[in-house]
Amino acid sequence: MAQVLRSVAAFRAACDQARVRGLGFVPTMGALHEGHLALVTEAKRHAPIVAASIFVNPTQFGPNEDFARYPRDLEADLAKLDAVGADLLFAPDVAEMYPAGEQTRVNVPLVAAPLCGRFRPGHFEGVATVVTKLLAIVGPCTAVFGRKDYQQLAVIRRLVIDLRLPTTVIGVPTVRDLDGLAKSSRNLYLSPVQRARALAIPRSLAQAQAAFASGERNAATLARVARVQVEAAADDVDYVEVVDADSLSPLMDNKIDDRALIAIACHVGQTRLIDNVVLGEDAPVIVG
């Protein structure tokens, strides 16, 4: 049974003790699904003791986003963490993470600017701030994040380098349902009809992968191929872009050399969904 810790002091002490044997860390916002559990399993491959955190971080939600209705079920999450062998769970409240008078924020301006950064102002500042706090509490460890949040992972990799944090960052491939939809806590919001429409996202990624495999190397053409399906199915499309997989910047002359990121963000009903693959690197998306 994972030990649940509510205070920064108690969690820090437990991490300090665990680190002697090797410590892995998986930060989450709860509403755990198989994607999160794959992160814990990966952390276990790197370290005998694994700590998870569950904290719905208010600073990464915009004023009209889903902070209030974000699914919260600590008991169910704890049972799932136990099933995959997590040892520690940090579940602080907001005042514990953001003490009275707090004002410090962490910004990673260039990596956070494109893609979701254009549509969710302040989101990556909130993510970078809370992840920095968490990594400062946990101390030296191997921290594991999902590649579904590709830009988030890029922001975290950058801040760990820039702030000289003693963290080894690992990215884990996206876990998908059998029909191809990427696992996400927000899939819980989708009605069956909306969920069926959301399958346009993995379908469009698979189509772009097929075009890439057939030799297409123009980023704009590949983005256009993917966009057609997403536009037909979604209520609103934030972006469908093919960019440099490292810098997330546009590709010079739209030309892809060996690999590129195709990333999608769109709304189905009230639910904002994101997904991506690295063309030339990730396994083909299988769509049912």
Closer of 146 and 229 to ligand PAF (Cβ): 146
Tell me if residue 267 is catalytic: no
Closer of 60 and 207 to ligand PAF (Cβ): 60
Binding segment for ligand PAF (CB under 6 A), chosen from 9-17, 27-35, 97-105, 207-215, is 27-35
Burial of 241 from C-beta contacts in 10 A (0-12 / 13-18 / 19+): buried
Residue with tokens 């209705």: 69
Q: Which amino acid is at 65?
A: E
174 binds ligand PAF (CB under 6 A): no
29 binds ligand PAF (CB under 6 A): yes
CB of 53 to ligand PAF, least distance (A): 7
CB of 152 to ligand PAF, least distance (A): 6
138 binds ligand PAF (CB under 6 A): no
Q: Which amino acid is at 102?
A: E
131 binds ligand PAF (CB under 6 A): yes
Instruction: Considering the candidates 33, 36, 46, 123, report the single residue annotated as catalytic.
Output: 36
Distance, CA of 123 to chain centre? 12
CB of 149 to ligand PAF, least distance (A): 5
Q: Which helix (H) or strand (E) holds 37?
A: helix 34-46
CB of 115 to ligand PAF, least distance (A): 15
28 binds ligand PAF (CB under 6 A): yes
Question: Is the CB of residue 24 less than 8 Å from the CB of residue 49?
Answer: yes
Residue 243 phi, psi dihedral angles, 5° rounding: -135, 170
Joined together, the tokens standing for residue 55 give 């904290």
Binding mask 43-82 for ligand PAF (x = CB under 6 A): --------------x--x----------------------
Long-range contacts of 187-195 (CB under 8 A, 24+ apart): 187/33, 187/271, 187/273, 188/31, 188/71, 189/66, 189/269, 189/270, 189/271, 190/268, 190/269, 190/271, 191/269, 194/268, 194/269, 194/271
CB of 214 to ligand PAF, least distance (A): 34
Could you tell me the strand order of the sheet in which 3-5 lies? 3-5, 88-90, 49-54, 23-28, 141-146, 167-172
274 binds ligand PAF (CB under 6 A): no
Q: Would you name the residues annotated as active-site residues?
A: 36
User: Interface with ligand PAF by CB under 6 A: which residues?
Assistant: 27-29, 57, 60, 127, 130-131, 149, 152
